[in-house]
Chains A and B, each alone.
Chain A
Amino acid sequence: MMAGPASFLKTAWTVLREVSGDAAYENYLTRHRERHPDQPALDREAFYLSELDRRWSGINRCC
């Protein structure tokens, strides 16, 4: 791994994208191609909506 502020910023950006869910679709695509190469993947909008539906069906926020 390269050192210095550039690498730090890059790591911070990756972590931010992972934590916020910004990278979720890319992760889904990678995984989908690996596991089910024969089936069509959801498009961005359909994936986003199904993610929200999954996430907001249970308790995921506290006081």
Chain B
Amino acid sequence: MPKFAQNLIWIAIGVFGAACLGGIALHRGETINAFWFIAAAFGIYAVAYRLYAGWICAKVLTLDPSRATPALRINDGRDYVPTHRWITFGHHFAAIAGAGPLVGPTLAAQFGYLPGTLWLLTGAVIGGCVQDMVVLWASTRRDGRTLGQMARDELGPIAGGAALVGTLLIMVLIVAVLGLVVVNAMKHSPWGTFTVAMTIPIAILVGIYMRNIRPGRVLEGSLIGLFLLLAATAGGGWVAHHPVLGPMFNFEGTTLALLVIGYGFFAAIMPVWLLLAPRDYISTFIKIGAILLLAFAVVILRPELHMPALTQFTDGTGPVVAGGLYPFLFITIACGAVSGFHALISSGTTPKLIMSERDLRLVGYGSMAMESFVGVMALIAACVLDPGVYFAINSSAGIVGSTLEQATATISGWGFPVTAEHMTELAREMGETTLLARTGGAPSLAVGMAQIFAGAFGQSMLALWYHFAIMFEALFILTAVDAGTRVGRFMLQDLLGNIWKPLGNTSSQMSTIICSALFVASWGYFLYIGVIDPYGGINILWPLFGISNQMLAAIALAIVTTILVKKDKARYAWVPGLPMVFLAVTTTYASWLKLFDADPRVGFLAGANALEAKLQAGTLTGAALESAPHIIFNQRLDAGLTVFFIIVLWVTIIEMARISLRHLQGKPVPPLSETPYVDEATLPHPTGVGGH
């Protein structure tokens, strides 16, 4: 096709996507169809991938297909394996996509559908996708070194240490907040709890199958696990209604929190083959299946959205996440727009599979665009709900009141009509006793998906759809809890080994138990406080997690910006530099508000002081009185943690500026650690996975 015609097609796609986005922004009807969101997203990702990512690859990164990648050069058949780009894409996407892009957009739906959509699209194409691709490029040119190692090599030990400690803390917060999402979905839900509990024996069974019965046959094992899990999901309904078994799986949030903490510890010290690996295999299948189902629900069934474009909560009074649109939208939606954690996946594992530098755009930029699309779909599913129902599920008792009548009256008073009868009926349809105050996003996404499917397949399956959705979210969250604890343990061993040598020995039983216990205690603490918090815990933990994740993204972008400057490409430094500045300013401003805002729901210190005043005035009773001292301490600890995050962030940015300036002035800086050029043609032909 002539170049001119090709360009014309891309221009047409771009204009179409922009027109759909314009349609979404200007639409002021009662409802809006999901089609406009899907079309806008596809148009924007396609054009950004073709033009912006293409330009970055050619001009900024100067990708060279003749340059042998580490997978080709080292090709040890284990870590370094040249792999076909679509298979690498599959691995990479399965690694980056989890519960994050489902939860964040659901919480951000409180602002209306428009802010979340705009941020998911622009954040991804200018920030998140760029970060993932450029970090992947930098690591591929360094034999797959990790982000922390690259920070140390390129910026020196100060930035290296900052990146390492920042990563460890973000792990603690991720596991805690994801644990909280699961606990909130399971509390007083015998069906949900039974299904989630069954994933443990099923995973162990599959683990034994994959190791002892049919070693390494992971497809067979996963299929058996999948079948058993679906049976457990269906059987959960029977268990929940059973007079003896039902109450056995009906737990308080605090009990569930302790169970999750205990589970996390044992999962971390058990051999990988027994629980972690088989669970991950099943979870990955379910994850892809769930995303395809969500795509079917949103793309094929194209539901109507009932949430307004903007709600009054852009002013900062929102019941789901406190704080104004700027900066808190950009903190609430991390995964799906920009997620610093991806930089850890893009450095380390994935670069060792890259067969040609030509593949970096698909694997780095493409996978993130796909994750962003998952975020858009989750946002749509949340906005499909009646706004009144959405707020009833996602608002904590501390804000709307703990009885059904109080809660529905408060929410109706906001202009989102909902009745107690409707909520009771909805809970019954979903096979639950109550859906009130199930904060954390998973239950409302499950209700949204169940309703879309029920629209297509009839109402009789509502409860099953709902619990299927809860099960898959819980499944990959628990996988993240296991995997996160294991990695956290390794990092702690690495860190503490510097203080006392024997702790650094990863094969020592004692060191494993001590470091696992330490790490589990850290996230367990935040999880437990989150559960006893009458404001739902998510309100405190999610922004903290968002801040830490965006901080890590800014750090990753600062590292690659330095690399570009040192490669004498300072004129292109804005490509990672622009999102870096935006994220650094946004997280700093958000942290400032989290520290010093006078609104007790926004500011940690104001929150602690307000609660302390209530405690001293003697106005608290019951559970609120009991939990108050813990929550006061926790809020002050959170404030300290926020300060620490900001210090880590700005230390890295100052180091970036210092090293870049020195380089521009011609002064000595740590040398580029890029591996020397090797011509791909001089190497033996690859025989790796899917090699062509």
User: Closest CB-CB distance, A31 to chain B, in whole Å?
Assistant: 5
Residue of B nearest to A27 (CB): B689
B90 on the A face (CB < 8 A)? yes
Complex CA distance for A34 and B94, rounded to whole angstroms: 31
User: Closest CB-CB distance, A57 to chain B, in whole Å?
Assistant: 7
B272 on the A face (CB < 8 A)? yes
Instruction: With A19-B90, A20-B222, A61-B479 as known contacts, state yes or no: A45 contacts B216, CB within 8 Å.
Output: yes
Instruction: Name the segment of B334-342, B441-449, B508-516 touching the other chain.
Output: B334-342
Instruction: With A20-B218, A25-B216 as known contacts, state yes or no: A49 contacts B335, CB within 8 Å.
Output: no
Instruction: Name the segment of B5-13, B56-64, B78-86, B422-430 touching the other chain.
Output: B78-86
* B217 contact set on A, CB distance < 8 A: 22
What would 10 more interface pairs be, CB under 8 Å, given A61-B479, A62-B335?
A: A14-B690, A31-B77, A43-B215, A49-B273, A56-B272, A57-B490, A59-B487, A60-B349, A63-B339, A63-B341
User: Closest CB-CB distance, B478 to chain A, in whole Å?
Assistant: 11
State which of A27, A31, A44, A56 has its C-beta within 8 Å of the C-beta of B277.
A56
Of residues 35 through 61 on chain A, the ones whose CB sits less than 8 Å from some CB of chain B are 35, 43-45, 47-49, 51-61
User: Closest CB-CB distance, B489 to chain A, in whole Å?
Assistant: 11
* B84 contact set on A, CB distance < 8 A: 18
User: Closest CB-CB distance, A22 to chain B, in whole Å?
Assistant: 4
CB pair B211–A62 under 8 Å, yes or no, is no
Instruction: With A22-B217, A31-B687, A63-B339 as known contacts, state yes or no: A58 contacts B222, CB within 8 Å.
Output: no
B483 on the A face (CB < 8 A)? yes
What 0/1 readout, one digit per residue, does chain B (523-558) give for beta carbons within 8 Å of chain A?
000000000000000000000000001000000000
CB pair A63–B335 under 8 Å, yes or no, is yes
Complex CA distance for A61 and B99, rounded to whole angstroms: 11
User: Closest CB-CB distance, A25 to chain B, in whole Å?
Assistant: 5
Interface residues of A (CB under 8 A from B): 14-25, 27-28, 30-32, 34-35, 43-45, 47-49, 51-63
* B620 contact set on A, CB distance < 8 A: none
User: What are 19 A-B pairs with beta-carbon distances under 8 A?
Assistant: A15-B87, A15-B690, A18-B84, A20-B222, A20-B284, A22-B216, A22-B217, A27-B689, A45-B211, A47-B215, A49-B273, A51-B78, A56-B272, A56-B276, A57-B490, A58-B490, A62-B342, A63-B99, A63-B178
Complex CA distance for A46 and B340, rounded to whole angstroms: 35
Residue of A nearest to B75 (CB): A31
CB pair A62–B98 under 8 Å, yes or no, is yes
Instruction: With A15-B87, A17-B219, A20-B222 as known contacts, state yes or no: A58 contacts B98, CB within 8 Å.
Output: no
CB pair A35–B219 under 8 Å, yes or no, is no
User: Closest CB-CB distance, A35 to chain B, in whole Å?
Assistant: 7
CB pair A34–B479 under 8 Å, yes or no, is no
B174 on the A face (CB < 8 A)? yes
CB pair A47–B216 under 8 Å, yes or no, is yes
Complex CA distance for A49 and B219, rounded to whole angstroms: 16
CB pair A58–B349 under 8 Å, yes or no, is yes
Residue of A nearest to B690 (CB): A18
Interface of B is mostly: helix
* B86 contact set on A, CB distance < 8 A: 15
Instruction: With A62-B339, A63-B98, A63-B174 as known contacts, state yes or no: A44 contacts B222, CB within 8 Å.
Output: no
* B222 contact set on A, CB distance < 8 A: 20
Complex CA distance for A56 and B271, rounded to whole angstroms: 11
CB pair A20–B215 under 8 Å, yes or no, is no
Complex CA distance for A8 and B585, rounded to whole angstroms: 49
CB pair A48–B216 under 8 Å, yes or no, is yes
* B281 contact set on A, CB distance < 8 A: 20
Of residues 230 through 273 on chain B, the ones whose CB sits less than 8 Å from some CB of chain A are 272-273
CB pair B480–A61 under 8 Å, yes or no, is yes
CB pair A62–B96 under 8 Å, yes or no, is yes
* A19 contact set on B, CB distance < 8 A: 87, 90-91, 94
State which of A32, A43, A47, A59 has its C-beta within 8 Å of the C-beta of B344.
A59
* A15 contact set on B, CB distance < 8 A: 86-87, 90, 690
B97 on the A face (CB < 8 A)? yes
Complex CA distance for A44 and B213, rounded to whole angstroms: 11
Residue of B nearest to A48 (CB): B216
* A30 contact set on B, CB distance < 8 A: 687
Of residues 161 through 180 on chain B, the ones whose CB sits less than 8 Å from some CB of chain A are 174, 178
State which of A14, A43, A48, A54 has its C-beta within 8 Å of the C-beta of B210.
A48
